Structure 1
Amino acid sequence: MSRRDLCIIGAGPAGMAAAVEARAAGLSVTVLDEALRPGGQIYRDVTRASEARLAILGPDYAAGQALAARFAASGAEHLCGASVWHIEQEDGGFLLSYSQNGASSQVEAAKLIVATGALEHPMPLPGWTLPGVTTTGALQILLKTSGVVPEDVVLVGCGPLQLLLAAQLVAAGRPPRAIVETVPTANYLAAGKHLPRALRGFGYLAKGAGLLLKLRRAGVPIYRDAQAIALEGDATLEAVRFTSGGRGHRIETTTAGLHHGVVPNQQVTRLMRCEHRWNADQHAFAPVCDTYGESSVPGLFVAGDGAGIRGAVSAALAGRLAAARIAGRPDSVTAPLVQALARDAAVRPLLEALYRPCAQALSPSDDTLVCRCEEITAGQIRAAATAGAPGPNQVKAFLRTGMGPCQGRTCGLAVTGLIAQSSGRSPDDTGYFRIRPPLKPLTLSEMAARDD
């Protein structure tokens, strides 16, 4: 088994940029990615996007083509369709076990960069498990990979991704039926104090204003400060019900996209027992990393949204910075990257104050399903916490929350939040699910068909 200087998990903007930087410094690099083509979520399928699709998805998406081309020319080994299911520390490095083409293999590396990106924040609302209800991110994936555009979608929640998808649907000729936005008026006041700093990232503010103008010109109705949201239907979604402006509304639809932010994907860093802390501004856990992205586990770096949500531009910068640090590049190389990251992140405090997660979804009613895989309600989780379960792992033992196919990716933060609310403790005190191998469901045949 060959030993690489560096292994990278994920071929999104952070992973691709890290690979390009590391190869330029002469390091041997292997990139493992579950997708069949590079790009991650933000640049998904950008290498085969048609001109028509690029026009719909916009220039920020199209910018991924140049990065993907540099990655392809870098000489880094790219293992596509490779799902990493375990990582071990040994001999001052890391041993990664992964599944590809129905068989398991292993690769060793002196250093490791985790660039697994973000997940959408769980948004448990009444009826969110009905067929026809999905996430905004999932709708955008369908648009990027297959050109599938829903005919009557209602977008529910808040955040830049919500506005971006709505504008992309307008460009595709099928504007959303409505946007049901959960941002309360108080959030605008809270965000206002961050405006002077956010002006350093004026480009992002201009893009947001442009998206809103596009939606207004297309006549897309936006319902502000939506509350008491329910997704109605028997066998499938039939309507979205909510209150806004002191009035009740009911919009008939067969498709709804839910979204109220993204959070770091912490599965790998939790498996490796990296230290994590609760970020109250982003309402999520993130691994504790230094300026260069190195975690509490020596030699393990985290780059991109997996270290904290900052977007695609910052992800690429963070990937380059981590790789430059691993390669021992001088401060003349790393210092400008640190400065660029600070400039690009200037708008984040404003966005985080404005688009805070939906209050109703953070504290769902007792009869709302939270763990979709095991069909566990918010009331059952609250009852387990009241009965003395100190954290998610004990609730898992009581109720099987987090033991289904998603392994807690969908419900993890919601379970932590409910326990924290019920016990009056902070999420840092209640903690998160303990992640164990395999990281993803694995067949016995994949384990048996080892290449050794």
Structure 2
Amino acid sequence: MTPATGSKNVRAVRDLDADYDLVVIGAGPAGLSSATIASEFGAHTLLVDENQTPGGQIYRSVLLAQEGDQKRLGPDYWKGRALAETFLQSDVHYAPATTAWSVGPYQDETGRAVGHEVGLSGAGEARLIRTKQVVLATGALERPFPIPGWTLPGVMTAGAAQIALKASGLIPEGRVVVAGTGPLLYLLAAQLIEAGATIAAVLDTTPRENWLRILRHLPGFLTSPYFGKGLKLLSAVQRRTKVMRWVTAVTAEGEGTLKEVVWTSGGQEHRMPADLLLLHQGVVPNVNFSNAAGCVHVWDEAQLAFRPRIDAWYETSVPGLAVAGDGAGIRGAEAAAVQGALAGLGCAFRLGLIDQETRDKRAVGLNAQLLKATRGRTFIEALYKPARAFRIPARPETIVCRCEEVTAGQIRASASAGAAGPNQMKVFLRAGMGPCQGRLCGLTVTELIADERGVSPEKVGYYRLRFPIKPLRLRELASLPQSDAAKVAVLADLADTHHSKSH
């Protein structure tokens, strides 16, 4: 897929350069735009992504998609092809199938921070790359949806089903129930129906009271691109499957695997046999990387999530480290692409490749695009704000931390016993210490503790994360080139140990 002249694919981390002006992590719309525009101004740029092809989650496998996929996945998905193709024509070094697992300060001989050092691994090897600027374009995560039975085989997130559909063309068999709130809920239902799946029902958990809160945001929404798209999507789903509204409770039941979905609507309980339950109640910024890097985060009450504090050029509180796209706050794919371009401009300016006048002049058009792309977002945020019942489990036996099987009751008990926040709670429990490092439980844990203590989630805080944020194999660690200082430290430790044992 790479043209003869254009981006340089690097399949082995050993073949990467030792130094770059800019390292971009994530090949979604924000990452592609950041890398492309920074390279345009002469920045020696590396883009790192875990997937085999560019596009991120929203445009996953778009370069491999066939013409028939356009009808099944929709025109918005197809927009990613032009973005990816433009990137491939740039001079960016592109490392697909590569994991970024750390970023930390890089210091010169005097101990002065002169940039960043990014930890990468791929094909069984690891490498530390030096760079002057970093853009984190790690996107969003699905909000945790802790209901009774959500750990049963046969229950998964809507996003996971969408990945399977886009990346491998996998279509679920049997009776599928889709439950939750948010635009993606209906988009996935429409995509699965178009692909031939049997959607038995859509259970819409959007709170009835949300409709009363959105009236003041209605004028902006009616003039936004979301209005026409939303009506068309809702109509397509309602014509071809059963949509149940005002759902206030959902439970997955079965012995060893999912057998039934139970829900409450209008004060009455309903049951439906199901082979697959897909859960979704919106997406939230993926803050694991920015959190571990030490960036200051704030609680966004409108989005009910933490996000990094950024300036007009998406630079965080850590100098030389920017966050663009949904990782900086959920605003959609088109907005993410524009944010990435603005972040790339900011990097080019800080690198001294352009002056302030050039940066600001180029940003005028981009900011106009961003304003247009985000018109109507306030309405969507207010309408699809998930209900408290689906964020803060009322039943104490409901599992919150899937990795360690920690329940809502245990988390409340730890808060009552003195755990002021998620990090103190680790003294009592292991929630957040499993393989997902809090990705599937972090917000639920924060809101449970806040509710038990009667304070805001911002006062409770989030997990304090540490690198590496992704699992590493021992052979990858062993392949890391060791600095002289590290070797001396290891030898000194060994000498101290030997000295202690000899006495």
> TM-score scaled to structure 2, two decimals?
0.88
The correspondence for 2:446, drawn from 416, 425, 435, is: 416
| Whole-angstrom CA distance in 2 between matches of 1:397 and 1:181 | 38
1:442 correspondence with 2:463: no
Cα offsets for 1:236-275 (capped at 9, x unmatched): 0011101113332111101010000100000111011111
Please tell me whether Structure 1 or Structure 2 has the larger radius of gyration of its CA atoms. 2
Shift of 1:29: 0.4
Aligned residue for 1:38, secondary structure, equals: coil
1:268 correspondence with 2:289: yes
The correspondence for 1:249, drawn from 270, 278, 281, is: 270
Query: Which residue of structure 2 aligns with residue 384 of structure 1?
Result: 414
1:126 correspondence with 2:148: yes
Residue type at the aligned position of 2:250: I
Query: Which residue of structure 2 aligns with residue 331 of structure 1?
Result: 360
| Whole-angstrom CA distance in 1 between matches of 2:285 and 2:427 | 25
| Whole-angstrom CA distance in 1 between matches of 2:448 and 2:153 | 25
Shift of 1:200: 3.7
Aligned residue for 2:400, secondary structure, equals: strand
CA contact (8 A) 2:207 2:386 kept: no
Shift of 1:358: 3.1
Query: Which residue of structure 2 aligns with residue 286 of structure 1?
Result: 307
1:116 correspondence with 2:145: no
The total of aligned residue pairs comes to 450
Shift of 1:24: 1.1
Q: Unmatched 5+ residue regions in structure 1?
A: none
| Whole-angstrom CA distance in 1 between matches of 2:264 and 2:66 | 41
| Whole-angstrom CA distance in 1 between matches of 2:267 and 2:386 | 21
Residue type at the aligned position of 1:127: G
Q: Unmatched 5+ residue regions in structure 2?
A: 1-16, 107-112, 350-357, 483-503
| Whole-angstrom CA distance in 1 between matches of 2:99 and 2:314 | 23
| Whole-angstrom CA distance in 1 between matches of 2:424 and 2:375 | 39
> TM-score scaled to structure 1, two decimals?
0.97
1:93 correspondence with 2:115: yes
Aligned residue for 2:246, secondary structure, equals: coil
Shift of 1:359: 2.2
| Whole-angstrom CA distance in 2 between matches of 1:63 and 1:451 | 41
| Whole-angstrom CA distance in 2 between matches of 1:245 and 1:114 | 44
1:239 correspondence with 2:277: no
CA contact (8 A) 1:157 1:358 kept: no
Shift of 1:451: 5.6
The correspondence for 1:355, drawn from 384, 387, 412, is: 384
Pairing 1:79-90 to 2, within 5 Å after superposition: 79-90=95-106
The correspondence for 1:45, drawn from 43, 61, 84, is: 61
Cα offsets for 1:116-144 (capped at 9, x unmatched): 00000000000000000000000101110
| Whole-angstrom CA distance in 2 between matches of 1:396 and 1:62 | 44
1:227 correspondence with 2:248: yes
1:59 correspondence with 2:80: no
Query: Which residue of structure 1 aligns with residue 459 of structure 2?
Result: 429
| Whole-angstrom CA distance in 2 between matches of 1:246 and 1:223 | 13
Aligned residue for 2:162, secondary structure, equals: helix
Residue type at the aligned position of 2:24: I
| Whole-angstrom CA distance in 2 between matches of 1:425 and 1:338 | 37
CA contact (8 A) 1:103 1:451 kept: no
Aligned residue for 1:436, secondary structure, equals: coil
Residue type at the aligned position of 1:139: A
Aligned residue for 1:63, secondary structure, equals: helix
| Whole-angstrom CA distance in 1 between matches of 2:245 and 2:414 | 35
Shift of 1:22: 1.0
Query: Which residue of structure 2 aligns with residue 135 of structure 1?
Result: 157
| Whole-angstrom CA distance in 1 between matches of 2:35 and 2:293 | 22
Shift of 1:89: 0.9
Query: Which residue of structure 2 aligns with residue 30 of structure 1?
Result: 46
Residue type at the aligned position of 1:188: W
Cα offsets for 1:65-121 (capped at 9, x unmatched): 111111111120111111111111123211001111111012111111000000000
Residue type at the aligned position of 2:216: K
